[in-house]
């Protein structure tokens, strides 16, 4: 969990797929002994493949600090830009 927190807080880390492949991180999602930590795995999945909307839909995830929230907003805009040829202000809201 500590490694996930560090990655989410690091201002220069924007790729999270490699973390999702680590055996210790995979264990968080599968092992019932770590059930209380699965929320961190789910949060990492959102940073790797999701959007701010996905995060807001999940009330059970850890609360994001200002840095993490800003980073997720940046990643969301990048995801939207990849999916749309042009981004209007309305789409961003």
pLDDT tens column, 79-92 = 877 776 776 666 65
Residue of 35, 32, 38, 30 whose CA lies nearest to 4:
38
**Measured distance CA(88)–CA(93) in Å, rounded:** 9
Given CA atoms 60, 48, 74, 87 in this order, what sign does their dihedral have?
A: negative
pLDDT tens column, 11-67 = 899 999 999 999 999 999 999 999 899 999 999 999 999 999 999 999 999 999 999
Considering the entire predicted model, what is its pTM?
A: 0.84
């Amino acid at each position: 969990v500590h490694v996930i927190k560090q990655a989410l807080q690091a201002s220069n880390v924007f790729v999270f797929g490699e973390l999702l492949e680590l055996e210790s991180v995979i264990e968080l999602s599968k092992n019932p002994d770590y059930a209380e930590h699965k929320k961190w795995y789910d949060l990492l999945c959102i940073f790797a493949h999701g959007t701010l909307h996905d995060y807001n839909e999940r009330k059970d995830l850890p609360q994001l600090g200002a840095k993490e929230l800003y980073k997720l907003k940046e990643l969301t805009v990048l995801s939207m830009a990849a999916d749309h040829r042009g981004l209007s202000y309305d789409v961003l809201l």
